[in-house]
Structure 1
Amino acid sequence: MKVIVIGGSGHIGSFLVPRLVRAGHEVINISRGTHKSYGDAPEWQQVRRVIADRQQEDRDGTFGDRVAALQADVVVDLVCFTFESASSLVNRLRGEAGHLLHCGSVWRYGQSLKLPIAEGSESAAAPFGEYGIQKDRIARMLKDETDDGGLVTTSVHPGHIVGPGWHPIGPLGNLDPAVWYALSAGQPLQVPGSGAELMHHVHADDVAQAFEKAIQNRDAAAGEDFNIVAPTALTVRGYADIAPGWFGQSATLETVTWEHFRESTTPEYAESSWGHLYRSHCFTIEKAKSLLGYAPRYQPEQAVLESITWLIERGQLRVANPLRVLAG
């Protein structure tokens, strides 16, 4: 099949595109062309690259025409963030493509009410924040589109994506590199809230696996949405206890109030921490396992370790001690 991947040079696409080539598909990557993929897999030599500024072309009303003109069987959209952009693409591809797959986010859910959270259940409150609200609207629109006999669609909703190439959401629910230095040095780490809050990570290659399996199992995936995460979720304290051991250290954790925590860090890091920990997400992957055969390879701590190993080896993360455990 001919498969278009929109945003294929990003984190998920860096794993998905080589998978699709190995599976025998003709692959076209549409991207802005501002950076290379995170890996140097030889399969990229077989990929056709199309340079496009999606945001500008959405404003001009031409992006859907560009995608439709390539006459693909499958379109995988990894970089759509607004309802208007998603709707425009659906309207243009209706009758033109056989399957549209959209990358959503677990932030389509608000704070957890019952755990684990399943698709279509009342286990979580309504989404909040523009990003989560938009992703939820898009997922609902796609499901209605297919249920009404229109374009065949599938939405895939990853947890907090990790893997080589970027900084993972850390034990405090933010991207503060000072957290990793403190853990690697055995320094005290101030933890807001109870420490029992949950975060559900997923390795980028496991997300790529889910997309590949949804393409392979089009009929089972038609009109469906899937939560795609690691087999288990990490609590704040569990995460903060595991990570220092990678550097031969033990955790020293101090519980502080949210007010104190906000005063001790930047507004950006404090808001990120609150957003992750207030939601306190843990998901079931039973639907993806039963309908798609999804079988994640990585536990969350393995995926995070691979991320920070990559960063440390390239001098992109400062730590006090060398890693005693290497990702593999």
Structure 2
Amino acid sequence: MVVGGSGHIGTFLVPRLVRAGHEVVTISRGQRSSYVDDPAWAQVRHVVADREAEDRDGTFPGRVAAERADVVVDLICFTLESAKALVERLRGETGHLLHCGSIWRAGPSVRLPITEENGEPPLGEYGIAKDAIARMLKAEHRLVTTSLHPGHIVGPGWHPIGPLGNLDPGVWRRLSAGEPLDVPGIGAEFLHHVHADDVAQAFEAAIARRDAAAGQDFSVVAPSALNVRGFAQIGASWFGQQARLRTVSWEEFRRGTEAEAAQASWEHLSRNHYFSIDKARTLLGYAPRYQPEEAVLESVRWLVHHDRLEVARPLTV
């Protein structure tokens, strides 16, 4: 069973599981199809449910347990209370529970690369919750659990976190036009992306290697990370341009940037995340296909080709 199977990760994970010979059931609100078409979806049974509403009235864990799945993959759990309720109900009902966390379980970096053991305490409601869930799952002894923590997920169908650490589409227009781009600081902060199919690969591997994955937590990211200036330079090159970067203070950056985008930049860049995948490689055989720039390019190309992103020049790659 895949909870939230029509989202970014489920788009790639569900077909992978079908092709591996599993009988797959998904639970989602039924408001959106997967981002990428795949004939494997014809073999999937879909259950329509509102996770948030059923968590409030306490019925969601029972709905999941009633399916008596061998494996439950929970891609849309965001609170410790929700995670605990599911764990308590699935004891004795399922063989393996896998949770999708986030690299934001770690706070601003002190040493790089960040491992599963040396991350700093998280900041913000989202990161604190993901860290608490991961710790709870690791301490669970009556149900086999695994948590996987993706970086900034990208792929066809949605906007990527861009070179300034936000979702402002105007950044791509400016890069494609060769216009100056204001960068807060010196542009040395890291962003660690991952393609959604590589995340799906890691979940599939954790299911296949249950004994190795049992009780473990894994960072799931691309093999390398991009810093701001390198990301901007690579992105501009896709349009045959050179990035023209102008260093500004954070105060100046906030004055010239829409408030929501500026705050997103601060949230991403202040964390300065670059993670190791050694543990996932060793225990799961995780072998990501995409370098971060390849994953982001696939997303940008899809957006441009579907008229979802305004750019000044066509892609040259």
TM-score (norm 2): 0.99
Task: Tell me the residue number matched to 1:174.
Answer: 166
Cα distance, 1:267 vs structure 2: 1.2
Aligned identity (percent) is 70
Give the counterpart of 1:106 among 97, 103, 108.
Answer: 103
Q: Which amino acid aligns with 2:6?
A: S
C-alpha distance in 2, partners of 1:178/1:159? 23
Q: Deviations over 1:191-229 (max 9, x none)?
A: 001210000000000000000000000000000000000
Task: Tell me the residue number matched to 1:249.
Answer: 241
Counterparts of 1:1-328 in structure 2, within 5 Å, are 4-121=1-118, 124-145=119-140, 149-325=141-317
Gaps of 5+ in 1: none
Q: Which amino acid aligns with 1:42?
A: P
SS at match of 1:26: coil
Gaps of 5+ in 2: none
Cα distance, 1:294 vs structure 2: 0.1
C-alpha distance in 2, partners of 1:11/1:89? 22
Q: Deviations over 1:290-328 (max 9, x none)?
A: 000000000000000000000111111000000000xxx
C-alpha distance in 2, partners of 1:167/1:313? 13
C-alpha distance in 2, partners of 1:195/1:57? 44
Cα distance, 1:125 vs structure 2: 2.0
TM-score (norm 1): 0.96
SS at match of 1:33: coil
C-alpha distance in 2, partners of 1:312/1:194? 29
SS at match of 1:55: helix
Root-mean-square deviation (CA, aligned residues, Å) is 0.5
Give the number of equivalent residue pairs. 317
Q: Deviations over 1:130-161 (max 9, x none)?
A: 0000000000000001xxx2110000000000
C-alpha distance in 2, partners of 1:126/1:154? 20
Cα distance, 1:57 vs structure 2: 0.5
SS at match of 1:210: helix
Q: Which amino acid aligns with 1:127?
A: P
C-alpha distance in 2, partners of 1:193/1:33? 43
C-alpha distance in 2, partners of 1:97/1:113? 39
C-alpha distance in 2, partners of 1:244/1:208? 29
SS at match of 2:24: strand
Q: Which amino acid aligns with 1:306?
A: E
Q: Where do 4+ consecutive residues of structure 1 move more than 6 Å?
A: none
Q: Which amino acid aligns with 1:155?
A: S
Cα distance, 1:104 vs structure 2: 0.1
C-alpha distance in 2, partners of 1:109/1:120? 10
